Chain A
Amino acid sequence: MINKIAFVFFTALILQSCSSVKEYEKEKINDPDMKLSARTAERYETSFQVYREAAAGANGGKSGGGCGCN
């Protein structure tokens, strides 16, 4: 399992050499809707999902602890 994850991780790392977008070319990438994270107002949905589902984590937020939830 750890080998597969490492493979994905380093493959993704290698991808960086494929592209180099200059700062002045990032108008679209810097659009607020392009952020690679959950929206601020999404936090309550994430919270109820952590209670109602067994899975958590890998979304940039908490993956467990801090509540009497699953």
Chain B
Amino acid sequence: MKIKILSFFILLTTAAFAQDKEPVFKKRVLESTEVDFLTSYYDQNGSRSAVSGGIGSEKLTDVASNIVVAMPLNDDDVLTIDLGISAYSSASSSNINPFNSTGASAGGGGDDDDRVAGGKVVALGPSGTPWQASSGASRSDQLVSVVANYSHSSDSRNFIWNTDVSFSNEYDYTSVGFGGGIAGLFNEKNTELSLKVNAYLDQWRPIYPTELHEYSKYGSNFLNQGYFNGVTVLDQNGQSTANYLPSAFQTINAVNRNSFSASIGFSQVLSKKLQVSVFFDVLQQQGLLSSPYHRIYFADKANFYIGQAQYINNYESTSNAGVYKLADDIERLPDSRFKLPIGARLNYYINEHFLLRTYYRFYSDNWNIQSHTATVELPVKLSDKFTVFPMYRYYTQIASKYYAPYETHLSTEKFYTSDADLATFDANQYGFGINYTDIFTASKVWKFGLKNIDFRFNHYERSDNLKANIATIGFKFVMQ
């Protein structure tokens, strides 16, 4: 069946290509060079940090910018270069090493400066808490990316092919991608069929939670060496102990993550005011699909801590200001995932002042996740130049079969994660956008005329109390 669909698709797009024999007036695909400057600010907060095993601060801020340059190479060909940089600071990822360097023994000097109060050891050495950011090196990172896309349109503009390459890098992750696609227009350009394929060959450079890193480095005697030398480990009663041994943990050898996707698109003009499109994607991912710094605490294993014993009893509360639980393992997920999303857009031109943009997606994968996404946007044209668009998005998902909340997995399980992003939840996102367009590009900067300014703001709320805000502004310039 799959082969039949693919054959039919290729036949149709080839037919579109064949139409190019007709002599037609040829308008340039892109009249002149266009430059987009985009920047965004994102902040979030929540209480289910995956780095801390499913509880803890998820406070995060991210600033991202992109410059996208689209250059016409001739009448038919366009080269687009997209350069991006994004910088974030995150309480959650700072807690890969949660232990703030306070107290004499924090430096690993071996001084035993702990004291006993009320029968419990009060550690004056390193301490941390899942509810606050630590000074760990992983509290911030930068992502840089570049994408180059080349597209060619046929003389009739009824057939387009394109190819792209991409590269991105951050501290512990590198990605190289390539892909291509074809699109055919039929029926007086009222119908479009497209096929796109992509491959990403990604590689992790795993970083592990500090306590597990030390265990992997020094073996079963690790509590007397390296970071743990001179540091007091506490049991559930707040007593000093030497019993902490995360024997379930093993470092990861296979660090590649490969993703292969194919997307079929169909769009149709239904009337002078109504058009619709349908996207059908298939995606196969292989390799390291878990995050090596996500902690797991097993329900059937004893608890161990570093920090101040008086906070152990209220560890799961935000009032815990000074104790951090040591991991039993990192999350473990299968090395294969098959994703199947199908989406549709329907846009309707109501009248000169109002339009309606809608989107729906159904998603399922073989980790038993299912989700629905629905978006509605109502652009209101205030004048020739200004449009405002209120928008709303609803999202709901059913958890992965490998997900369980904080400290509920059992050590006998094969796969486990406490990453709330894979849990059951729903989310509401609402916001607005303002668009300014000047087709005459009256405002100029050097050789470029300002064609468009786009601003949008959205607030996002998940049913598990994760909240986020995102603001984006974009400027489009056209070379004169």
Interface residues of A (CB under 8 A from B): 1-3, 5-6, 8-9, 12-13, 15-23, 25-26, 28-29, 31-37, 39-45, 47-49, 51-60, 62-68, 70
Contact = CB atoms under 8 A, between A and B. Distances in A.
Contact of B166 (A25, A49, A58, A66): A66
B259 A52 contact: no
Of A2, A51, A60, which is in contact with the most chain B CB atoms at under 10 Å from its CB?
A60
Contacts of A70: 421-422
Nearest to B471: A44
Contact of A15 (B62, B172, B186, B268): B268
B261 interface: yes
Interface in B257-309: 257-259, 261, 263-273, 275-281, 283, 285, 291
Interface residues of B, number: 100
B64 A44 contact: yes
A31 to B, nearest CB: 6
Given A12-B266, A28-B273, A62-B198, A42 B421 contact: no
Contacts of A25: 272
B379 interface: yes
Nearest to B194: A60
B188 A21 contact: yes
A41 B474 contact: yes
A56 B40 contact: no
B124 to A, nearest CB: 36
A54 B427 CA distance: 12
B1 A6 contact: yes
A29 B275 CA distance: 7
A49 B468 CA distance: 11
Contacts of A23: 188-189
A13 B458 contact: no
Contacts of A2: 1-2
A54 B333 CA distance: 14
B433 A68 contact: no
B345 to A, nearest CB: 5
B443 interface: no
B395 interface: yes
A39 to B, nearest CB: 7
Contacts of B271: 19, 21
B280 A18 contact: no
B468 A52 contact: yes
A66 B281 contact: no
